[in-house]
Structure 1
Amino acid sequence: MIYKKDANFPYPILTNTSTSYENSHFTLDVQLHENVYNYRFDISYEIDSDFIKRLLEQGKAQLILVIQSKDNKFYKLKQYESYIEIPKSRISVSKRTTIQLHLQSKEDISYIDNNDLSEFYQQFKDEIIVPKNTILGFSNVVIFDGSITKPLELFEKKLNPNLLSDVKIELGNETIIIHYKHEQLQFNNLPKSNSLNNPYIYMGLQKALQRFIVNNGDGEQVDLDEIDNLIDPLDIKLHTLMRKKMINELRIDNIDEVIYKISDRIIEKYAAALKELSSNGN
């Protein structure tokens, strides 16, 4: 379960609001990333108690990541493990997903050497023994609202009857602009019109990623981990999106693979829209 308020325990427990410890500090920070197949939770935490940190180092306690969305999921973390990857088939990350880190005992724990306790407990800490599989502390709650960067937010659509072609892809200052010569090319009168526009989205991403390599690499490839101080706003958006999808390298010969990972199966959705139109007799 997720502890959102102080709970009563018959023994000292480490939380950010507890008075059981002199320095009550157990904070969690989580960054959520995803690709086509997995969610990745990058985890960092701080624990003030030296006693608790010794228990973790000695294998007498363990960290458990609790993820609460439509249901509760529990994941044991190894010492110094900084992230976990979970297949999308095994977890649902929706709006108001909450995450908390728990400390749990792996054996009976004596508090006789716990010098981090408040003065109240110092008088009888030698009598405190916490049973195996018992919670020793819990962190703050991290809340995700379900908003993950979507590639379509990179795009604008404009109608220009003076175009010399049916469709023109322009790389603007902050967006990829799709210019249409005729309104019917946008398929607005058909169901799934957004999906039917996906080939244009694909073309725009190809053009933008090619320029990204030119702007930030050697013309053939670019290491996304080594990039800093990006200036172009569109490049900044693309870089953020690629890193969220756990992409480390962009090359001329892997652009299509990168588009697949960052675009949430736009070609599959395009094909499904065509199939639906066909089955409906349109």
Structure 2
Amino acid sequence: MRIRRCITLLSTLGAALAVTVPAAASTASAPSDDRRHGLGHAGSTLRAHEGGAAPGTVPQPRGGVAGMDVSSHQGNVNWPAAWRAGARFAIVKATEGTSYRNPRYGQQYNGSYNAGMIRGAYHFAIPSSSSGAAQADYFVDNGGGWKADGRTLPPALDIEYNPYGSICYGLSRAAMAAWIDDFSRTVHARTGRHPMIYTSTNWWKQCVGDNASFGMKHPLWIARYSSAPGPLPAGWAAHTIWQYDDAGRFPGDQNVFNGSAAQLRKLATG
């Protein structure tokens, strides 16, 4: 009798395992949106959607102040070498969504500062996953701060093509503008600065439209891999920083500040 009960129990357990194991494997093969975060960085989707000059071929723009932006994809950066090559500012990815923090952030953010650069931090937005306020809080809590030391740029919002799905994250133009405003208001309340906005003109037209309300308070970090920044999004008469290539003499992306070194320090001072 006991042997029969054991056989029956084992048969029942085997049947249960046969049902549940495939279900667990199926879940593991389709990670949630949050678990996939970390792929995005400034310009990560730009070339696929807009093309541009071949990587590393856009000449260093004349004038301005040369700089760079990096993420975990660059690993530990040799900051003294980047300084010797001419980089005078660096913008470092800090966070994405509300679940990803750059594991190289400390080495990159502090390393650039220690090398003598003006540094800043940016957040890669995932508007489909949580509110602008929630992502702004996550950003500020994990490195997206600012201090009036003349060496720290305003926090930056990277808002561009979605690396995980629909281009505009499933939001209408009005909803996207509201999301950006929610993020901006929260960053301003916590740091005293309105964030810089990183975007491309084509993405902005498609996903935000002709909304010109952000130009007065938000410095524009424009992305275009060409010999000129081209037309700007509605609301901006000039750009502050131009990401002109995704490869070149500095690690990461190549940037130029649209002004003098003194004006760059003024932007950092606030």
Sort the TM-score into its range (normalised by shorter chain).
Answer: under 0.3
Please tell me whether Structure 1 or Structure 2 has the larger radius of gyration of its CA atoms: 1
The structure with higher relative contact order (CA 8 Å, sep 6+) is 2
Tell me the TM-score normalised to structure 1 length. Answer: 0.20
Tell me the TM-score normalised to structure 2 length. Answer: 0.21
Normalized per residue, which structure has more strand?
1
Normalized per residue, which structure has more helix?
2
